[in-house]
Structure 1
């Protein structure tokens, strides 16, 4: 019986202002599920900041566990005729809401 399933430690690259996780494979397989991957190119490194170009996203895995890239960035889709989305910025991210005020996730 293991006492710890993982380890949290400060990242040196960010001068300990961010954290890294190291999880045991068994724990990760039993307790985590894939949600999203983002593919980016780091253009420039500055003190406490990076200039990044986002290249691709994925929200699904292949049956063998490989990442299924979309070939594009995420985008919001209006599903209903004459639909409308209202965008606000919260904590540095865009939040989209439909006419009923429900949050709409990008696809």
Structure 2
């Protein structure tokens, strides 16, 4: 997993672009319009997302269609998976503790 992915997603507009692209490919103009950005701003954000490997562009005549690349997001999910095991264990321990307290209160 690459820290570049987190850096790219840390900026709110880039995060919103990634969310938009979940539904399918869009042009710069469509992205700019939906996020109420100027086209140069959207292009700047897309460049960062391209460099981070989060999106790719497909050239169609004079238009570029941007689509989401799932590999970096899958890498984040795999990284988080190791933490999920810790969280699950801690929640299980908390649940056991609460059940123990509850059974003591019922005595």
TM norm. shorter chain > 0.5: no
Higher helix share: 2
TM-score norm. by structure 2 comes to 0.19
TM-score norm. by structure 1 comes to 0.19
